[in-house]
Amino acid sequence: MPQLIPFYFINQLSFSFLTLLALIYIISKYFLPLFTFQQVIRMYITKLNNK
């Protein structure tokens, strides 16, 4: 079974972990706050409108 060939185990593991870490960093610092910011702005404008 080709998944059990041991030559590149560490390679596979480190690349997937590094990709996931870089992804978590980029998403949490640059992209996720934009979503929350947009919801906050919409809530703010709705409240201003309801006054």
Partner 1 sequence: MFGNQQYNIINSPLEQFEVTSLLGLNAPILGYLNISLTNLALYSLLVLFIIVSLHYMANNDTKLVPSKWSIALESVFASINSMVREQLGKELYLPFIYSLFFFILIANLTGNIPYSFTITTSIMVSIGLSFTILIAVTILGLSIHKLHFFSYFVPSGTPLALVPLLVLIELVSYLARAFSLGIRLFANMVAGHTLMKILATFLYQMFSGSLIVAVLTLIPFTLFLAIMGLELAVSFIQAYVFVILTCSYIKDAIELH
Partner 2 sequence: MSFLGLRKWPTPVAKPLWPFIAAGTITYFLVAKAQDMGVKSEAYAKDPRNPYAAQIAKESHH
Q: Which residues here bind partner 2, judged by CB under 8 A?
A: 5-7, 9-10, 13-14, 17, 24-26, 28-34
| Least distance CB 4 / partner 2 (angstroms) | 8
Among 37, 9, 13, 11, smallest CA distance to 21 is for: 13
- CB of 42: closest distance to partner 1 in angstroms? 7
Q: Look at residue 41 and give its three-state secondary structure.
A: helix
Residue 48 binds to partner 1 (criterion: CB under 8 A): no
| Choice between 8 and 51, CB closer to partner 2 | 8
Q: How many CA atoms lie within 13 A of 39 on its CB side?
A: 4
